[in-house]
A and B are shown apart, each in its own frame.
Chain A
Amino acid sequence: MENICDKIKTRVKNFDIYLQKLESETVNFENNKLKLVDRRLEKGYGIRLIKDNKIGFSASNNFGNIDSTIENALKLSAFGEKCYFEFPNKRFDFKDLKIFSDNITSINSKKMIELGKHLLSLLSSLDNDIKTNVIVEKNIIKNELINSSSLNLKERKTRFSITGWIFKAEENNFIEIWEQEDLKENEDLPNLINKIFERIKFLFNSAKNVTKIEPGYYPVFFTPKSFSTILSMLIKSFDGNLIYKKISFFTDKKGRKFFKKPVTILDDPLKIGYPYSRNFDGDGIKSEPIYLIEKGVIKQFLLDIQTAGKLKSVSNGHSVRSYVSLPSPGHTNIFFTVEDKSFVENREKIIKGIRKGILIDQFLGAGQSNILAGEFSVNIDLGFLIENGEIVGRIKDCMIAGNLFELLNDIEKIDNSPLYYGSIETPGVLVSKLPVK
């Protein structure tokens, strides 16, 4: 790293270098048996520099060609985007976010195989004819950022996740169910496996009976899994870039009470022990939690230093970066809730209260709709009919459609068991009515 730094210094005054090192080990079980242990070792760097107030960028993972990488970045800067920022120089103390764990680094491939085998045997016991895939993944990541304002930040992270997937093909009836868990602080591995198993078991057993639903408007209960998909579509509109371009639905709506219900979306990079927690962002800015929506009011947008500059604002430390690309606005750990206790109820109780409605757990084709306008129309990959408070069977070949922003206004209840999927933690959510086709 110092070597790269010294070389750039001789050519240009303002720059930063982002270095990443990744070691990953993945154990794959396919079709009920162990298939492969996959190891990856990767190390690379990205150079961002400013020349004549324009940005040049080049990346490589070949440490033998540092000179040509610098040369490329310089060459590109002649055409680069106008620079709207100064490299940060503010130093800050790191919090112990518990994102690096020696317990994780010490899990070897044999232990990972044992864990996978355990989940596989549990899932396979559900039915003789299902095919099961399990992925056990361990990542050790090192991110390092140096800039010309003497900032030098380093952070090590470990991530450990387990994914279970079952598939059963019957004539005219295929079923596919997946579940994933990230190992968080203070959680033990057997518990992780049990959680995956229990959720898949519930869904699989509920899907044994296949039933039909007439098109119409129904109350819909989204599990945390399906609601995290809904939220991932919504969060796109908080990208500072879309705000700058005035193509986000929330452009000019900052500070407005946009939602009738007290819905809150928090992006929290400092959540202890969470997979996307970090002390600094892709630009080297100190991480801080921000509310995207607080009690229905549009609060903040995701900003990196360049986008913040364009918006004549300051960065809130929400840029994401990998060594191969320039930083861009992005989120870390997202938390959704409705800030009114009267909305919260036990999941069983919520379902018991539905006379006729549906429960949705997985979508097919989410994200293909006109998300900028908040419109969505998706196939229900895994959904169930609820009658008189009971799940009566799986519904197939149907879709739900609606508007994301209106959907949040129609929330009636949330449950008290939030789950974390990908990067989003949300409870299950009951919406009063949505068109089912």
Chain B
Amino acid sequence: MNGMEIKIKKILEKSNSEFAEIHIENKKVTSFSLSNSQIEQLETKEVLRGNIRVLKNGQWGFVSFNDISLLETYIKMAEEQANTISLYIKEKRKVLPFKPVKAHYRTEFKINPLDVSLEEKYGLAMKYDSILKKHKRLQNRKIFYADREEKLYYGNTEGSLITQDKIFTGILIYAVAKDGNNIQTASESFGGYKGYEVVKDLDEVVDNIGKIAEDMLDAKQIEGGYYTVVLDQKLAGVFAHEAFGHLSEADFIYENERLKNIMQIGRRFGTDDLNIIDEGFIQGEAGFIFIDDEGVIPQKTYLIKNGILNSRLHSRETAYKMKEELTGNARAIDAFHQPIVRMTNTYIDKGKYSFEEMINSVDDGIYAVDYRGGQTNLEMFTFSAARAYRIKNGKIQETLKNVVLTGNVFETLKNIEMIGNDLKLFGGLGGCGKAGQSPLPVSTGAPHIKIKNVLIGGI
């Protein structure tokens, strides 16, 4: 045990709370962007953060800080807060216990980005920039690179003591094409708990991004209306995350009787072929976790199994309250924030159809590819495709722009007609936002899927 672990252990041993936990993290980030061959926003930062959360007299107290020399003061502050709340609330909160975990975890990588010189990183970005430069209609080319070394310490009053060494590497390639007032963009991001290898050898992809941005200048405007759509793996993954993942987060449900009735385990949501899974332990993915931020080991959780609502995502508190099992989904974006119920790697499992079979089955519809963003209010979701193509008589035709899809979660899940056999997961530099905590690294994925009756906004 090193100094930090001993310190955490000592403070926790003295605590007489029902449950208490301490997070300390030290993150070193290097990032820069290259815009039209010029370096911009080259930064390094080293940020030390910590928090103490206690459950005392049935209530929570939470203090976050970056001066870690005052842990004893902070734990008292957190306890006082919990005591204050207990003056107002009679009903006591409880958490489900978990076995003590004593471990040291380390993410795997081939090339440690910290061993790669800044010169080499800059050289790589310049290489990608020169590939984009061949595309003459691009007005702006941007490569954003970031790597992060994380040292995390966690301890709780159950006796868990965990240290983690994690390396995250990511890149974003962004191209803006312009023709008069017509401005179009294309981008792609790669990233995850892997090494420098994740950002290397992307020449072909980069070239394709330049090509897509240029092609989009000539894309036709889509007419708004209801369409049969085939979603590519990336967009279908975002659909799984936005449309169903958030609805499976138990903190929306555990104190809401009405929503509990709607989200009853055993309720049918889709056809027998539909399986939606959240799985934290997928090494290397952006949403990869060894352990969640409450010291619980993540499970492979079938949210929907054979079309039926099977389980949901939990923190210790929601699992206790709902008398369900822990899934290891309490996560915080950093130690300044408290853990809340979040997804990790969420995906629709593979089905039986080939991509060709799906496209062939559409007489008149849309093939929607890649995404710009997505949002849900639990009942309705919306996400925008980066680009789309018309499908006519089973064949992919012209490129379309401004394809924003929206719908009712429950209806749309029922309207999934075909699920492909080509599951793929995507991470990247972005992430998920909830309750002011954004971006949390997550991966999403799916095979190609075909959905009928989807509303597309158009312009």
Please list the residues of chain A having a beta carbon within 8 angstroms of any beta carbon in chain B. 30-44, 46, 55-62, 65, 68-69, 72-73, 75-76, 78-82, 109-110, 113, 117, 129, 131, 167-174, 176, 215, 245-247, 249, 324-326, 328, 364-365, 367-370, 372-373, 375, 377-379, 381, 396-403, 435, 437
Of all A-B residue pairs in the complex, the 4 with the closest CB atoms, nearest first, are A365-B382, A377-B457, A174-B379, A31-B255
Q: Is the CB of B457 within 8 A of A437?
A: yes
Contacts A40-B65, A399-B457; is A59 near B45 (CB within 8 Å)? yes
Contact of B455 among A117, A176, A399 (CB under 8 A): A399
Contact of A168 among B183, B185, B258, B458 (CB under 8 A): B258
Which residues in A have their C-beta under 8 angstroms from that of B181? Answer: 249, 373
Which residues in A have their C-beta under 8 angstroms from that of B255? Answer: 30-32, 131
Contact of B81 among A30, A37, A59 (CB under 8 A): A37
Q: Is the CB of A437 within 8 A of B225?
A: yes
Please list the residues of chain B having a beta carbon within 8 angstroms of any beta carbon in chain A. 32, 35-36, 38-49, 60-67, 77, 81, 84-85, 88-89, 91, 118-119, 122, 139-140, 176, 178, 181-185, 224-225, 255-256, 258-259, 262, 336, 338, 372-384, 401-402, 404, 406-408, 410, 455-459
User: A57-B44, A324-B43, A402-B459 provided; 4 other pairs, C-beta below 8 A?
Assistant: A37-B61, A169-B378, A367-B373, A368-B372
Q: Is the CB of B38 within 8 A of A81?
A: yes
Contact of B378 among A32, A55, A61, A174 (CB under 8 A): A174
| Distance from B7 Cβ to chain A, minimum over Cβ atoms (Å) | 15
Which residues in A have their C-beta under 8 angstroms from that of B407? Answer: 397
Contacts A370-B183, A370-B401; is A65 near B46 (CB within 8 Å)? yes
A-B contacts, 7 of them at CB < 8 A, read A34-B88, A109-B81, A170-B258, A245-B176, A369-B402, A373-B181, A375-B459
Complex CA distance for A370 and B259, rounded to whole angstroms:
35
Which residues in B have their C-beta under 8 angstroms from that of A370? Answer: 183-185, 401-402
Complex CA distance for A292 and B106, rounded to whole angstroms:
50
Which residues in A have their C-beta under 8 angstroms from that of B47? Answer: 44, 59-62, 324
| Distance from B333 Cβ to chain A, minimum over Cβ atoms (Å) | 13
Which residues in A have their C-beta under 8 angstroms from that of B457? Answer: 377-379, 399-401, 437
Q: Is the CB of B224 within 8 A of A437?
A: yes
Q: Is the CB of B459 within 8 A of A36?
A: no
Which residues in A have their C-beta under 8 angstroms from that of B401? Answer: 370
Contacts A81-B40, A369-B404, A373-B181; is A38 near B66 (CB within 8 Å)? no
Complex CA distance for A33 and B67, rounded to whole angstroms:
31
| Distance from B401 Cβ to chain A, minimum over Cβ atoms (Å) | 7
Which residues in B have their C-beta under 8 angstroms from that of A215? Answer: 224-225
Q: Is the CB of A37 within 8 A of B64?
A: no
Which residues in B have their C-beta under 8 angstroms from that of A80? Answer: 39, 42
Which residues in A have their C-beta under 8 angstroms from that of B410? Answer: 172
Contacts A247-B176, A368-B382; is A129 near B258 (CB within 8 Å)? yes
Which residues in B have their C-beta under 8 angstroms from that of A381? Answer: 377, 380
Q: Is the CB of A34 within 8 A of B382?
A: no
Task: Using CB atoms, name the residue of chain B closest to A38.
Answer: B62
Complex CA distance for A174 and B252, rounded to whole angstroms:
12
Task: Using CB atoms, name the residue of chain B closest to A133.
Answer: B435
Contacts A40-B336, A246-B178, A365-B382; is A31 near B118 (CB within 8 Å)? no
Contacts A33-B91, A370-B185; is A325 near B66 (CB within 8 Å)? no
| Distance from A159 Cβ to chain B, minimum over Cβ atoms (Å) | 15
